[in-house]
Chains A and B, each alone.
Chain A
Amino acid sequence: MRMMMALTACGFILYGTARGELDIIWNKAVHICLECIGLG
Protein backbone atom coordinates (compact mmCIF):
# COMPACT_ATOMS: atom_id res chain seq x y z
CA MET A 1 0.00 0.00 0.00
CA ARG A 2 2.76 2.43 0.99
CA MET A 3 4.84 1.47 -2.01
CA MET A 4 1.86 1.93 -4.32
CA MET A 5 1.13 5.35 -2.85
CA ALA A 6 4.78 6.36 -3.10
CA LEU A 7 4.91 5.29 -6.74
CA THR A 8 1.65 7.08 -7.43
CA ALA A 9 3.09 10.21 -5.84
CA CYS A 10 6.19 10.00 -8.06
CA GLY A 11 4.02 9.48 -11.09
CA PHE A 12 1.80 12.43 -10.24
CA ILE A 13 4.81 14.70 -9.64
CA LEU A 14 6.45 13.72 -12.91
CA TYR A 15 3.23 14.07 -14.91
CA GLY A 16 2.36 17.41 -13.34
CA THR A 17 5.88 18.70 -13.96
CA ALA A 18 5.86 17.50 -17.56
CA ARG A 19 2.61 19.25 -18.39
CA GLY A 20 3.81 22.58 -17.08
CA GLU A 21 2.12 22.94 -13.71
CA LEU A 22 5.31 24.24 -12.09
CA ASP A 23 5.20 27.32 -14.32
CA ILE A 24 1.65 28.10 -13.16
CA ILE A 25 2.65 27.66 -9.51
CA TRP A 26 5.78 29.78 -9.88
CA ASN A 27 3.88 32.54 -11.67
CA LYS A 28 1.29 32.61 -8.91
CA ALA A 29 3.83 32.40 -6.09
CA VAL A 30 6.15 35.20 -7.21
CA HIS A 31 3.39 37.80 -7.48
CA ILE A 32 1.47 39.19 -4.53
CA CYS A 33 -1.59 37.00 -4.19
CA LEU A 34 -4.32 39.57 -3.61
CA GLU A 35 -6.82 36.88 -2.62
CA CYS A 36 -4.40 35.43 -0.05
CA ILE A 37 -3.86 38.76 1.69
CA GLY A 38 -7.53 39.62 1.79
CA LEU A 39 -7.87 42.04 -1.09
CA GLY A 40 -9.92 39.81 -3.40
Chain B
Amino acid sequence: MNGRHWIKRKLLQFIAFGCSNPHLSNFPGGKLYEGKWKQFCNPGLNCYSCPAARFACPIGAMQAVSGSMDFKFSFYAAGMLLAFGVILGRAVCGWLCPFGLFQELIHKIPSPKRGLKKGFLWIKYVVLAVFVLLLPVVATNYMGMGKPAFCQYICPAGTLEGGLFLLGTHPELRQTLGSLFGLKAGILIGVILGSVIIYRFFCRVLCPLGAIYGLMNKVSMYHLEVDPKRCVSCQACHKACRMEVDPVKTPDSMECIRCGDCVEACPKNAIYVGFRRKAGVCLPDTEER
Protein backbone atom coordinates (compact mmCIF):
# COMPACT_ATOMS: atom_id res chain seq x y z
CA MET B 1 0.00 0.00 0.00
CA ASN B 2 1.36 3.42 -0.97
CA GLY B 3 2.26 5.30 2.22
CA ARG B 4 1.44 8.76 0.86
CA HIS B 5 -1.95 7.67 -0.37
CA TRP B 6 -2.72 6.06 3.00
CA ILE B 7 -1.70 9.21 4.88
CA LYS B 8 -3.70 11.46 2.55
CA ARG B 9 -6.80 9.32 2.88
CA LYS B 10 -6.54 8.99 6.65
CA LEU B 11 -6.03 12.75 6.94
CA LEU B 12 -9.18 13.44 4.93
CA GLN B 13 -11.11 10.85 6.90
CA PHE B 14 -10.05 12.47 10.19
CA ILE B 15 -10.97 15.91 8.88
CA ALA B 16 -14.39 14.57 7.87
CA PHE B 17 -14.73 13.00 11.32
CA GLY B 18 -13.90 16.33 12.91
CA CYS B 19 -16.38 18.19 10.73
CA SER B 20 -19.09 15.68 11.66
CA ASN B 21 -18.25 15.78 15.38
CA PRO B 22 -16.75 19.18 16.31
CA HIS B 23 -18.54 19.73 19.63
CA LEU B 24 -16.14 17.76 21.80
CA SER B 25 -16.78 20.03 24.77
CA ASN B 26 -20.26 18.49 25.07
CA PHE B 27 -18.89 15.12 26.18
CA PRO B 28 -18.15 15.88 29.87
CA GLY B 29 -21.64 17.25 30.50
CA GLY B 30 -23.42 14.82 28.22
CA LYS B 31 -25.13 17.61 26.32
CA LEU B 32 -26.18 17.58 22.68
CA TYR B 33 -25.57 20.33 20.14
CA GLU B 34 -28.89 22.12 19.60
CA GLY B 35 -28.00 24.58 16.85
CA LYS B 36 -29.50 25.02 13.41
CA TRP B 37 -27.01 22.68 11.71
CA LYS B 38 -28.66 19.71 13.40
CA GLN B 39 -31.49 19.84 10.85
CA PHE B 40 -29.10 19.06 7.98
CA CYS B 41 -27.97 15.55 7.09
CA ASN B 42 -24.44 14.27 7.50
CA PRO B 43 -23.35 12.27 4.43
CA GLY B 44 -21.98 9.40 6.54
CA LEU B 45 -23.31 7.32 9.43
CA ASN B 46 -23.01 9.45 12.56
CA CYS B 47 -25.54 9.26 15.37
CA TYR B 48 -27.23 12.56 16.20
CA SER B 49 -27.24 11.52 19.85
CA CYS B 50 -23.46 11.71 19.87
CA PRO B 51 -22.72 14.76 22.09
CA ALA B 52 -20.16 16.02 19.55
CA ALA B 53 -22.37 15.60 16.46
CA ARG B 54 -23.14 18.71 14.46
CA PHE B 55 -25.45 17.21 11.82
CA ALA B 56 -28.28 14.71 11.75
CA CYS B 57 -27.75 11.11 10.75
CA PRO B 58 -29.39 10.63 7.32
CA ILE B 59 -30.76 7.21 8.25
CA GLY B 60 -32.07 8.56 11.56
CA ALA B 61 -33.58 11.53 9.75
CA MET B 62 -35.31 9.26 7.25
CA GLN B 63 -36.85 7.22 10.07
CA ALA B 64 -37.75 10.26 12.18
CA VAL B 65 -39.87 11.73 9.41
CA SER B 66 -41.40 8.47 8.17
CA GLY B 67 -42.24 7.52 11.75
CA SER B 68 -43.88 10.86 12.48
CA MET B 69 -47.61 11.45 12.63
CA ASP B 70 -47.57 13.84 9.70
CA PHE B 71 -45.54 12.05 7.05
CA LYS B 72 -44.78 8.50 5.93
CA PHE B 73 -41.76 9.27 3.78
CA SER B 74 -38.96 11.82 4.05
CA PHE B 75 -38.43 13.60 0.76
CA TYR B 76 -35.74 15.76 2.34
CA ALA B 77 -33.63 12.85 3.63
CA ALA B 78 -34.18 10.89 0.41
CA GLY B 79 -33.16 13.97 -1.60
CA MET B 80 -29.99 14.43 0.45
CA LEU B 81 -29.08 10.74 0.04
CA LEU B 82 -29.79 10.95 -3.69
CA ALA B 83 -27.63 14.09 -3.97
CA PHE B 84 -24.70 12.59 -2.02
CA GLY B 85 -25.06 9.36 -3.95
CA VAL B 86 -25.24 10.82 -7.43
CA ILE B 87 -22.20 13.01 -6.78
CA LEU B 88 -20.00 10.66 -4.76
CA GLY B 89 -21.58 7.22 -4.71
CA ARG B 90 -19.86 5.02 -2.15
CA ALA B 91 -16.88 7.37 -1.98
CA VAL B 92 -18.80 8.74 1.03
CA CYS B 93 -18.05 5.45 2.75
CA GLY B 94 -14.41 5.48 1.73
CA TRP B 95 -13.58 9.07 2.61
CA LEU B 96 -16.27 10.76 4.75
CA CYS B 97 -18.00 8.27 7.01
CA PRO B 98 -16.94 8.46 10.69
CA PHE B 99 -18.02 4.91 11.46
CA GLY B 100 -16.13 3.64 8.42
CA LEU B 101 -12.99 5.29 9.76
CA PHE B 102 -13.57 3.66 13.14
CA GLN B 103 -13.78 0.22 11.54
CA GLU B 104 -10.62 0.77 9.51
CA LEU B 105 -8.71 1.77 12.61
CA ILE B 106 -9.78 -1.24 14.67
CA HIS B 107 -9.03 -3.54 11.72
CA LYS B 108 -5.40 -2.62 12.35
CA ILE B 109 -5.53 -4.63 15.62
CA PRO B 110 -3.36 -7.70 14.99
CA SER B 111 -5.51 -10.79 14.47
CA PRO B 112 -6.17 -13.44 11.85
CA LYS B 113 -7.86 -11.71 8.93
CA ARG B 114 -10.66 -13.26 6.86
CA GLY B 115 -12.62 -12.50 3.73
CA LEU B 116 -16.40 -12.34 3.55
CA LYS B 117 -18.67 -14.75 1.67
CA LYS B 118 -20.58 -12.87 -1.03
CA GLY B 119 -23.96 -13.98 0.28
CA PHE B 120 -23.56 -11.83 3.37
CA LEU B 121 -23.37 -8.67 1.22
CA TRP B 122 -27.13 -8.82 0.59
CA ILE B 123 -28.10 -8.59 4.26
CA LYS B 124 -27.69 -4.80 4.29
CA TYR B 125 -30.37 -4.44 1.59
CA VAL B 126 -32.80 -6.38 3.77
CA VAL B 127 -31.85 -4.13 6.71
CA LEU B 128 -32.52 -1.08 4.54
CA ALA B 129 -35.87 -2.30 3.26
CA VAL B 130 -37.23 -3.69 6.53
CA PHE B 131 -35.73 -1.65 9.35
CA VAL B 132 -35.24 1.73 7.70
CA LEU B 133 -38.10 1.98 5.19
CA LEU B 134 -40.84 -0.40 6.30
CA LEU B 135 -40.99 -0.73 10.09
CA PRO B 136 -41.13 2.99 11.00
CA VAL B 137 -44.17 3.25 8.73
CA VAL B 138 -46.10 0.08 9.58
CA ALA B 139 -45.14 -0.59 13.21
CA THR B 140 -46.91 2.38 14.73
CA ASN B 141 -48.46 3.13 18.08
CA TYR B 142 -52.03 4.30 18.77
CA MET B 143 -51.08 7.84 17.67
CA GLY B 144 -49.73 6.64 14.33
CA MET B 145 -46.10 7.22 15.27
CA GLY B 146 -43.44 4.68 14.38
CA LYS B 147 -40.07 4.12 15.98
CA PRO B 148 -36.69 4.33 14.22
CA ALA B 149 -36.30 0.54 13.97
CA PHE B 150 -32.77 0.50 12.60
CA CYS B 151 -31.57 2.92 15.25
CA GLN B 152 -33.46 1.07 17.96
CA TYR B 153 -32.54 -2.53 17.20
CA ILE B 154 -29.35 -2.52 15.16
CA CYS B 155 -27.23 0.62 14.80
CA PRO B 156 -23.91 0.17 16.61
CA ALA B 157 -22.89 3.77 15.88
CA GLY B 158 -25.64 5.02 18.18
CA THR B 159 -24.61 2.64 20.96
CA LEU B 160 -20.94 3.61 20.63
CA GLU B 161 -21.16 7.35 19.98
CA GLY B 162 -24.27 8.14 22.00
CA GLY B 163 -25.16 5.33 24.35
CA LEU B 164 -21.86 4.75 26.12
CA PHE B 165 -21.07 8.43 26.69
CA LEU B 166 -24.59 9.51 27.64
CA LEU B 167 -25.08 6.62 30.05
CA GLY B 168 -21.81 7.67 31.68
CA THR B 169 -22.98 11.24 32.24
CA HIS B 170 -26.70 10.71 32.92
CA PRO B 171 -27.29 8.47 35.96
CA GLU B 172 -31.05 8.74 35.46
CA LEU B 173 -30.68 7.00 32.10
CA ARG B 174 -28.74 4.11 33.66
CA GLN B 175 -31.81 3.24 35.72
CA THR B 176 -33.74 2.41 32.55
CA LEU B 177 -31.16 -0.03 31.16
CA GLY B 178 -32.80 -3.20 29.96
CA SER B 179 -32.69 -6.02 27.45
CA LEU B 180 -32.69 -3.65 24.48
CA PHE B 181 -29.38 -2.19 25.59
CA GLY B 182 -28.09 -5.72 26.00
CA LEU B 183 -29.08 -6.48 22.41
CA LYS B 184 -27.47 -3.32 21.06
CA ALA B 185 -24.34 -3.79 23.15
CA GLY B 186 -24.10 -7.33 21.83
CA ILE B 187 -24.42 -6.08 18.26
CA LEU B 188 -21.77 -3.43 18.91
CA ILE B 189 -19.37 -6.02 20.32
CA GLY B 190 -20.12 -8.31 17.37
CA VAL B 191 -19.46 -5.48 14.91
CA ILE B 192 -16.21 -4.56 16.64
CA LEU B 193 -14.97 -8.16 16.66
CA GLY B 194 -16.16 -8.60 13.08
CA SER B 195 -14.34 -5.45 12.00
CA VAL B 196 -11.11 -6.61 13.63
CA ILE B 197 -11.21 -9.82 11.58
CA ILE B 198 -13.02 -8.70 8.40
CA TYR B 199 -12.26 -5.37 6.74
CA ARG B 200 -15.23 -2.99 7.14
CA PHE B 201 -17.51 -5.74 8.42
CA PHE B 202 -20.45 -3.44 9.26
CA CYS B 203 -20.19 -1.52 5.98
CA ARG B 204 -20.40 -4.70 3.95
CA VAL B 205 -22.96 -6.66 5.95
CA LEU B 206 -25.31 -4.33 7.82
CA CYS B 207 -25.01 -0.66 6.81
CA PRO B 208 -28.18 0.62 5.08
CA LEU B 209 -26.32 3.78 4.07
CA GLY B 210 -23.72 1.71 2.25
CA ALA B 211 -26.58 -0.14 0.58
CA ILE B 212 -28.08 3.12 -0.71
CA TYR B 213 -24.81 4.63 -1.90
CA GLY B 214 -23.71 1.32 -3.41
CA LEU B 215 -26.79 1.30 -5.63
CA MET B 216 -25.67 4.63 -7.01
CA ASN B 217 -22.09 3.63 -7.79
CA LYS B 218 -23.17 2.92 -11.36
CA VAL B 219 -24.27 6.52 -11.94
CA SER B 220 -22.18 8.59 -9.55
CA MET B 221 -20.05 11.39 -10.89
CA TYR B 222 -17.09 10.25 -8.79
CA HIS B 223 -16.33 6.97 -10.49
CA LEU B 224 -13.70 4.40 -11.39
CA GLU B 225 -12.41 3.66 -14.89
CA VAL B 226 -10.01 1.04 -16.19
CA ASP B 227 -8.10 1.75 -19.40
CA PRO B 228 -8.33 -1.54 -21.34
CA LYS B 229 -5.33 -0.58 -23.49
CA ARG B 230 -3.06 -0.40 -20.45
CA CYS B 231 -4.51 -3.19 -18.33
CA VAL B 232 -2.48 -6.40 -18.49
CA SER B 233 -4.85 -8.41 -16.27
CA CYS B 234 -2.22 -8.93 -13.63
CA GLN B 235 -4.91 -8.82 -10.87
CA ALA B 236 -2.76 -6.52 -8.72
CA CYS B 237 -5.81 -4.28 -8.25
CA HIS B 238 -8.00 -7.20 -7.15
CA LYS B 239 -5.38 -8.36 -4.66
CA ALA B 240 -4.99 -4.83 -3.26
CA CYS B 241 -8.73 -4.31 -2.82
CA ARG B 242 -9.72 -4.92 0.78
CA MET B 243 -13.42 -4.83 -0.15
CA GLU B 244 -12.67 -7.87 -2.34
CA VAL B 245 -13.77 -6.14 -5.54
CA ASP B 246 -12.22 -6.85 -8.94
CA PRO B 247 -12.05 -3.33 -10.42
CA VAL B 248 -11.39 -4.64 -13.93
CA LYS B 249 -14.44 -6.93 -14.00
CA THR B 250 -16.77 -4.68 -11.96
CA PRO B 251 -15.56 -1.06 -11.90
CA ASP B 252 -19.02 0.05 -10.72
CA SER B 253 -19.32 -2.62 -8.04
CA MET B 254 -21.80 -1.77 -5.29
CA GLU B 255 -19.09 -2.75 -2.80
CA CYS B 256 -16.42 -0.36 -4.10
CA ILE B 257 -15.82 2.48 -1.65
CA ARG B 258 -13.51 4.35 -4.07
CA CYS B 259 -10.63 4.24 -1.60
CA GLY B 260 -8.05 4.28 -4.43
CA ASP B 261 -5.92 1.36 -3.18
CA CYS B 262 -6.31 -0.30 -6.59
CA VAL B 263 -5.03 2.83 -8.33
CA GLU B 264 -1.90 2.75 -6.19
CA ALA B 265 -1.41 -0.97 -6.76
CA CYS B 266 -1.72 -0.92 -10.57
CA PRO B 267 1.75 -1.23 -12.15
CA LYS B 268 0.49 0.11 -15.49
CA ASN B 269 -1.37 3.20 -14.26
CA ALA B 270 -4.50 1.75 -15.88
CA ILE B 271 -7.03 2.74 -13.23
CA TYR B 272 -8.52 6.17 -12.64
CA VAL B 273 -10.79 7.23 -9.79
CA GLY B 274 -12.26 10.70 -9.91
CA PHE B 275 -14.81 13.02 -11.49
CA ARG B 276 -13.48 13.50 -14.97
CA ARG B 277 -12.81 11.43 -18.07
CA LYS B 278 -14.95 9.23 -20.25
CA ALA B 279 -14.70 5.46 -20.61
CA GLY B 280 -12.18 4.28 -23.19
CA VAL B 281 -10.12 7.46 -23.19
CA CYS B 282 -6.46 6.73 -22.58
CA LEU B 283 -5.00 7.97 -19.34
CA PRO B 284 -2.08 10.41 -19.77
CA ASP B 285 1.33 8.90 -20.19
CA THR B 286 3.13 8.73 -16.90
CA GLU B 287 6.15 6.80 -15.92
CA GLU B 288 5.09 3.19 -15.36
CA ARG B 289 5.77 1.87 -11.91
Contacts and interface: CB of A to CB of B under 8 A. Distances in A.
Given A30-B38, A32-B166, A25 B151 contact: no
Contact of B48 (A2, A33, A38, A40): A33
B180 interface: yes
B75 A28 contact: no
Interface residues on B, range: 35 or more
Interface in A1-40: 1-2, 5-6, 8-17, 19-26, 28-40
Given A2-B221, A24-B70, A33-B60, A38 B77 contact: no
A40 B177 CA distance: 9
Given A16-B77, A21-B74, A25-B65, A39 B162 contact: no
B283 to A, nearest CB: 22
Contact of B64 (A2, A5, A25, A39): A25
Interface in B1-22: none
B38 A29 contact: yes
B39 interface: yes
Interface in B207-243: 216, 219-221
Contacts of A35: 147-148, 151-152
Name the prevailing secondary structure of the B interface residues: helix
Interface in B131-185: 147-148, 151-152, 155, 158-159, 162-163, 166-167, 170, 173, 176-178, 180-181, 183-185
Contact of B76 (A2, A8, A13, A29): A13
B83 A33 contact: no
Interface string B72-103: 00111111101101110000000000000000
| Top 6 A-B residue pairs of the complex, sorted by shortest distance between their CB atoms | A16-B76, A12-B79, A16-B75, A37-B163, A13-B79, A36-B158
Interface of B: 32-34, 36, 38-41, 47-49, 53, 56-57, 60-61, 64-65, 68, 70-71, 74-80, 82-83, 85-87, 147-148, 151-152, 155, 158-159, 162-163, 166-167, 170, 173, 176-178, 180-181, 183-185, 216, 219-221
12 contacts: A8-B82, A11-B79, A14-B79, A16-B65, A19-B75, A22-B40, A24-B64, A28-B64, A29-B60, A35-B151, A37-B181, A40-B176
